[in-house]
């Protein structure tokens, strides 16, 4: 995923400046030739857009970000700037900065970030804010939408855990969010893993967990994913009711997700096993700590004697 943007967003949120982060679109582009347009949206940024100097960075795999240009007073500036391939424009009425890369080549494969400097008078510091990032993949492979998606449910005690599983998509850049019945994003008690390569074809899968209390178990929750190839939303409550034998492998209305009872039981058992394994490891570490502490005290008392 876009690690740099995530780190910057986390740091900004902790200081109360999350609204200052530009939003980039699309999240990713998979293309073999031609031109691409990367958009950086300053709609939620308080900075005066027309006078803001906007920087563009390129980050290749396992390397630090490198600035490729910056846009100031209507001019593109930087050493080694490729004027024949890069074109930057500002759309003031929409608060957009657009970077166009012409005649893309495999070496252009990277994640691109827009950025700008902002001073916070209360803190008397300058902070460079990076956008959310766009990953460009120059390849003949093309993108692939998720082949399968579903929501698994596990009740334990007075809580219910929903697991949103999205499988076999490419590229790996994907955004997964949970919303309640009022279509408000839910962020509390949400855990999301990193995408993992699930097939020999190089496709990826990802899962996200939402845990709710017994008081909220009857509410409708949705798992929404946004991918370069498509957007889709799954409703958790559609899976609360166990299917009959005739519905053992069926498609729910308005949802392309196929639900299979044996598949659900297998994956739920796997998740429960992982949770129990983690708990056992924790108890083992606690026991080792107390054994070590007792041994240290005994040794100390022996020295005194």
The pLDDT value given to residue 75: 80
The pLDDT value given to residue 47: 83
DSSP string, 200-228: TT--EEEEEEEEEEGGGTTS--EEEEEES
Instruction: Return the DSSP state at 144.
Output: B
Q: Left (φ > 0), alpha (ψ -120 to 50) or beta: where does 170 sit?
A: beta
Question: What residues contact 241, with CB distance under 8 A and at least 6 apart?
Answer: none
Strands 86-91 and 28-31, sheet pairing: unpaired
The four Cα atoms 302, 303, 304, 305 give a dihedral, to 10 degrees, of 50
The pLDDT value given to residue 123: 67
- Residue-by-residue pLDDT tens, the chain, 305 positions: 444 444 444 444 445 544 589 999 999 999 999 999 999 999 988 888 999 999 999 999 999 999 999 998 878 877 666 778 899 999 999 999 999 999 999 999 999 999 999 877 666 788 899 999 999 999 999 999 999 999 999 888 889 999 999 999 999 999 999 999 889 999 999 999 999 997 788 999 999 999 999 888 788 999 999 999 999 999 886 544 444 433 333 333 333 333 344 444 445 445 544 555 555 666 666 767 667 677 666 666 555 54
Q: In whole angstroms, what is the distance from residue 96 CA to residue 103 CA?
A: 23
The pLDDT value given to residue 143: 94
Instruction: Return the DSSP state at 18.
Output: G
Quickly count: other Cβ atoms within 10 Å of residue 275's Cβ: 13
């Amino acid at each position: 995923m876009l690690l740099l943007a995530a780190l910057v967003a986390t740091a900004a949120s902790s200081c109360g400046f999350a609204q200052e982060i530009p939003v980039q679109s699309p999240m990713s582009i998979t293309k073999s030739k031609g031109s691409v347009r990367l958009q950086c949206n300053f709609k939620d940024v308080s900075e005066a857009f027309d006078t803001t100097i906007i920087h563009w960075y390129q980050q290749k795999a396992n390397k630090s970000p490198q600035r490729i240009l910056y846009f100031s007073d209507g001019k593109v500036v930087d050493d080694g700037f490729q004027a024949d391939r890069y074109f930057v424009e500002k759309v003031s009425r929409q608060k957009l900065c657009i970077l166009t890369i012409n005649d893309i080549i495999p070496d252009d494969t990277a994640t691109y970030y827009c950025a700008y400097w902002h001073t916070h008078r209360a803190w008397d510091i300058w902070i460079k804010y990076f956008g959310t990032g766009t990953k460009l993949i120059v390849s003949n492979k093309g993108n692939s939408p998720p082949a399968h998606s579903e929501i698994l449910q596990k009740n334990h005690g007075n809580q219910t855990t929903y697991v949103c599983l999205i499988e076999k998509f490419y590229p790996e850049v994907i955004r997964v969010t949970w919303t309640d019945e009022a279509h408000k994003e839910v962020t509390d008690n949400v855990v999301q893993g990193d995408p993992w390569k699930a097939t020999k074809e190089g496709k990826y899968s990802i899962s996200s967990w939402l845990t709710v209390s017994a008081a909220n178990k009857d509410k409708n929750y949705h798992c929404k994913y946004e991918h370069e190839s498509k957007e889709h939303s799954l409703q958790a409550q559609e899976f609360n009711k166990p299917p009959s034998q005739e519905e053992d492998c069926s498609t729910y209305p308005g949802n392309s997700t196929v639900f299979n009872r044996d598949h659900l039981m297998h994956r739920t058992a796997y998740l429960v096993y992982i949770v129990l394994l983690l708990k056992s490891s924790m108890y083992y570490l606690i026991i080792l700590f107390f054994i070590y502490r007792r041994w240290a005290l005994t040794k100390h008392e022996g020295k005194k004697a």
